[in-house]
A = this chain, B = another copy of it.
Amino acid sequence: MADTVLFEFLHTEMVAELWAHDPDPGPGVSVGSRGEEAGATTGQKMSLSVLEGMGFRVGQALGERLPRETLAFREELDVLKFLCKDLWVAVFQKQMDSLRTNHQGTYVLQDNSFPLLLPMASGLQYLEEAPKFLAFTCGLLRGALCTLGIESVVTASVAALPVCKFQVVIPKS
């Protein structure tokens, strides 16, 4: 029971903590200890990037613990299906709701009730708060893909809470 929610509680604290350390510095405040130059926007971008990086490394580590048969994946699409099913269940105890692709390296993974957004009210009210709850998971997907040998760019968008779309773009080499 509790270990299911433990990840979500810890994620919430982590987001809050990173945001608390990047307040809007008043005028005259110079370069902070993190190297951000000035302004809340830069600090927030930094926090998003930190969260994404943490997600990436956790995704890599999880990827390394995947069952060996996953190494036999030949098709990109199989790998993506695996993330939508097995990885999502392992992390969020549910499967991704849909997976679409243009068959040219772009995949859209949709979760209709993304667990990390559920604590927020539904609808449009807190939409601008959403990005900070998505960065870690974007990194998680990118990290797991990396362990499976696929370089990618992962972004997320929310049109209405708690529905979330993750876009995975795999550049053709």
Please report A residues at the B interface, Cβ cutoff 8 Å.
Answer: 1-7, 9-11, 13-14, 17, 21-22, 25, 29, 32-34, 36, 43, 50, 54, 57-58, 61-62, 65, 87, 90-91, 93
Q: How far is the CA of A21 from the CA of B9 in the complex (A)?
A: 22
Give chain A's interface secondary structure class: helix
- Asked whether A57 and B13 contact (CB < 8 A) given A21-B34, A33-B32, the answer is yes
A58:B3 contact, CB within 8 angstroms:
no
Q: List 14 additional A-B contacts (Cβ < 8 Å) besides A7-B10, A10-B11.
A: A1-B65, A2-B62, A2-B65, A2-B90, A2-B91, A3-B91, A7-B7, A9-B57, A10-B10, A10-B58, A17-B54, A21-B21, A21-B34, A32-B34
A90:B1 contact, CB within 8 angstroms:
yes
| Shortest beta-carbon distance from A116 to chain B in Å | 12
Q: How far is the CA of A40 from the CA of B8 in the complex (A)?
A: 31
**The 7 A-B residue pairs with the shortest CB-CB distance in the complex, in nearest-first order:** A32-B33, A2-B90, A13-B54, A9-B58, A6-B7, A9-B61, A33-B33
CB-nearest residue of chain B to A93: B3
Q: How far is the CA of A43 from the CA of B21 in the complex (A)?
A: 13
| Shortest beta-carbon distance from A94 to chain B in Å | 12
B3:A7 contact, CB within 8 angstroms:
yes
Q: Which residues of B contact A1 (CB under 8 A)?
A: 65, 90
A54:B10 contact, CB within 8 angstroms:
yes
Most buried by B among A2, A11, A21, A58: A2
Q: Which residues of B contact A36 (CB under 8 A)?
A: 33
| Shortest beta-carbon distance from A11 to chain B in Å | 7
Q: How far is the CA of A93 from the CA of B1 in the complex (A)?
A: 11
